[in-house]
Structure 1
């Protein structure tokens, strides 16, 4: 094999020295433009979740903070299927749960959980919760993910477990307890319930959810193989490598960027129907 002459830090350059620009979160001339962007990516996230089978009746919700009315956030209407979500369907609610814009009620549990998170974490602009199969299955153990794969390192020391199941979350105190279990992390496993992820953008929060569900799937498969005998022993990634690699794969900008191929795919697949 010929030597690899280009340094990893230079992989964004051509042979002529021209720099190639990686996609980043856009800059907006007005807050109205940013509001529209957030709503468009929120609607897309629902479509993408539907593609992955995260829908279940009227359960599941994604929110994004409004950039103008910063104590308000946008949510999905109660009875709209994820696969049919459009920008015009989204509901704006205030910090007390009153609908400010929109034509349908919202999920009570959605407001209870999301309002607590947006209040407790001003750095968080979006939160995702859905009843994905692998997330639900892993949640029954009431434990954190093990650092057994590179993808799991996205959640290294940045996820918690809420070890209490009190049914549908309609009590403000329980919403606050979930927020406390989340802490300063990007995700929390709700025991006997499922996953919840957050981010500085809806893109980031949605990708963390998708990645965490797949990581739960990998964990379940690894646990089953290890329990089945045959000499299968899980090898955990050592702490030094966890520290180093988590910084490479777990930052907000990495989460945002990782979502863009899915957004592009949905845009092409639907012809932009969700933008209406």
Structure 2
């Protein structure tokens, strides 16, 4: 564990562009946790969102073990390296967070951020062992852009399980972890967080539709067109930005 002084020097090292981007990513990460907390995605010690450090993409920022999403501030975030060592921060890292996210980041150099939580509808839908169907405009964002990991092996405490999850994710934006929950990725915190929120809601809608009858799928051509329109980074970033108002905390509190 680095001393407080050494940690501070490590954090602010690098050029000005890296420092500015690091601050932005960490603020977005803390905000994403607050939004997840507001939406009820906290489940004890479970759940994590990560973002690569701009100065060293082999390292990532993550929430500490045991801290509720709703309470997370920028100063609480941990910097973890590829071995799981906490380089900055004075709390413990969630072992599952490291095992899953380190392998996702390793397998997908184009992924800047990844989000996973034990949300109620995500868990319920994951128990079915199926993928999302294109039954609504919003669910089309995941049309042919998500997958299913059907090999649940218990709490993720080893890198091999994380590697298999990353393999199941493939080049998609999301993967349903059977008997577990959801995991989404993106080129920014905004993208990864929004795709998680949107997928959680799509799971809820499909569960309700299936309980009422047989949902009608949108045809392939239309679903593909809708996916191209709402399934990209621009839509995700704008949607995430629109959620800032659901968090009552001030910027000063989040950045403290």
Bucket of the pairwise TM-score, normalised by the shorter protein: over 0.9
Once the two structures are TM-superposed, the CA of residue 254 in structure 1 deviates from its matched residue by 1.3
For structure 1, list consecutive stretches of 5 or more residues without a partner in the other structure.
1-27, 227-232
For structure 2, list consecutive stretches of 5 or more residues without a partner in the other structure.
1-14
The alignment status of 1:262 with 2:249, answered yes or no, reads: no
SS in 2 for 1:70: strand
Residue matched to 1:274: 254
Q: For 1:1-276, what aligned pairs fall within 5 Å after superposition?
A: 30-226=17-213, 233-266=214-247, 269-272=248-251, 273-276=253-256
TM-score relative to the length of structure 1: 0.85
Once the two structures are TM-superposed, the CA of residue 51 in structure 1 deviates from its matched residue by 0.5
SS in 1 for 2:175: strand
- Kept in 2, the 8 Å contact 1:62–1:126? The answer is yes
- Kept in 2, the 8 Å contact 1:198–1:204? The answer is yes
RMSD of aligned residue pairs (Cα, Å): 1.2
Once the two structures are TM-superposed, the CA of residue 217 in structure 1 deviates from its matched residue by 0.3
TM-score relative to the length of structure 2: 0.92
- Kept in 1, the 8 Å contact 2:112–2:189? The answer is yes
User: 4+ residue stretches of structure 1 with deviation over 4 A?
Assistant: none
Structure 2 distance, partners of 1:254, 1:66, is 24
- Kept in 2, the 8 Å contact 1:66–1:73? The answer is yes
Q: What are the superposed Cα offsets for residues 244-270 of structure 1, whole Å, 9 maximum, x if unpaired?
A: 11100000121111100112442xx21
Structure exhibiting the larger radius of gyration computed from Cα positions: 1
